Amino acid sequence: MGLFTAFFLVSRVFLISLYEIISTFFWRFNLAKGSNPKIIQFGTEIRNVNNVFFSDNVSIGRFCKIFTEFSNSKLVIGENSQINTKCQIDFSGDLTIGINVVISEESILMTHDHGYDPKSKPIKYPKLIEDNVWIGSRSIILPKAGFIGQNSIIAAGSVVTRDVPQNVIVAGNPAKIIKRLN
């Protein structure tokens, strides 16, 4: 690897890191009062920022899309929670994410649907994700799954169609309980 290539790569990493620090600083002014995210990385899009509240040490990965179809919908994310790269978070039906939640790469959370008519008015479904939940990579949480219980794990690639109780591991399409935790 040439000296020029090494210099280019180090400069690129430095500039992106600097951009993310500055971007996070400005996001804090646009989010709901009291929001204090740790970092919001490059390429993230957040719509209706006045209705989004991030507690302390919330991390949002690169190229995430956080959106709603309604101007009055709310998103609350608890302390030390992490949304990783390329996740899509819909909070149209209101979404509350607890403390120490990890949402892994490319996962999708939906809180509304249109029934069988894509042009119909959206139907809201509120969703609560309790504390210490881990949602595995590329999982899909559909609108009618309104509750994910404390300390539960959603295995990678799962499609969650209904509520998930506390202290379980679910996997598959549709997701089913495969193990109960202590």
Which residues are tagged catalytic?
114
Residue 27 has what DSSP assignment?
Answer: H
**Which residue type does 129 have?**
I
DSSP for 19-57, please give it.
Answer: HHHHHHHHHHHHSSTT---SEE-TT-EESSGGGEEE-TT
Is the separation of the CB atoms in 16 and 9 below 8 Å? no
Both structure tokens of 52: 């989004």
Q: How far apart are CA 53 and CA 74, in angstroms?
A: 8
CA-only gyration radius of the chain, Å = 18
Q: How many helices (H) and strands (E) does the chain have?
A: 1, 21
Q: Where are the beta strands (DSSP E) in 130-174?
A: 134-135, 140-141, 147-148, 153-154, 159-160, 168-172
CA 139 centroid distance within chain: 11
Tell me the three state secondary structure of residue 59: strand
